[in-house]
Amino acid sequence: MAIYPIRTFGDPVLRVETKTVTYVDDVVRSLVQDMIETMYEAPGVGLAANQIGITRKIAVFDAQDGLGPRAMINPEIVEVSGEWEYEEGCLSVPGHWWPIKRPGFARARALDLDGEEVEYAGDGLLGRVLQHEIDHLDQRLLIDWKDGKHSEFSLAQLRRVCPCAACRTEREQQGSNPLRILKADPTGVRVVSARLVGTYAIQFDWSDGHNTGIFDFRFLRSLDAG
């Protein structure tokens, strides 16, 4: 068994097209076991292969329904219905949760570890995780479900901790003060107040003229290390 590092927002592999698995063999089964271990270690309820840097159409999940971990190989959504808004997070966007509207029910078709066709279907967390993980395999991230000003605001938050070279350069140009960065955002969002809530965190109250909210900005030690 191996625990893989999880790739996060800004890593280009999350936007690379994933490839169909042509044969389910012991190599695939071993990878699935490693993914399950990595998912639980994170901890999370789902994990797609490209989240650990492997561009294959493989995902694992545990919908906390007592059935334990399951695998989906070459999965596709074949049916959805209804609507459900839920505070959704993602291992590749750590520390952030947003209210996301998705279909409340989903049915997915895939191959199991024996290479046999299988279907998973349900609402609640199961329906949500099926859609979320298959989104990853289609190069779609949680942030892509948001729209308008709220999407811009979410992206502005993520740019402050994104490890990619472009975002790091932008932070250097704007200065290292998180308050300066937030005030410079061209999204109509402004800081109402801010307070230190720990050695590595500042909590902001924000307003866009219509809505207000609170979010935590956490300094990542990996960025501080250069």
Q: Where are the domains of the chain?
A: 12-145, 149-224
Let me know: does 85 contact 101? Beta carbons within 8 Å: yes
Q: Which of 78, 47, 41 lies closest to 62 in space, CA to CA?
A: 47
Q: Which of 17, 85, 87, 133 is catalytic?
A: 133
Residue 59: its pLDDT value, please?
98
pTM of the model: 0.67
CA distance 131 to 124: 11
Is 116 tagged catalytic?
Answer: no
The whole-chain average pLDDT of the chain stands at 76
* Nearest alpha carbon to residue 132 among 198, 33, 44: 44
Q: Whole-angstrom Cα distance, residue 112 to residue 130?
A: 14
> What CATH class has 12-145?
alpha beta
Q: What is the pLDDT of residue 100?
A: 86
**Cα dihedral sign, 40-83-74-54:** negative
- Render pLDDT for 114-129 as a digit per residue (tens, 0 to 9): 999 999 999 999 999 9
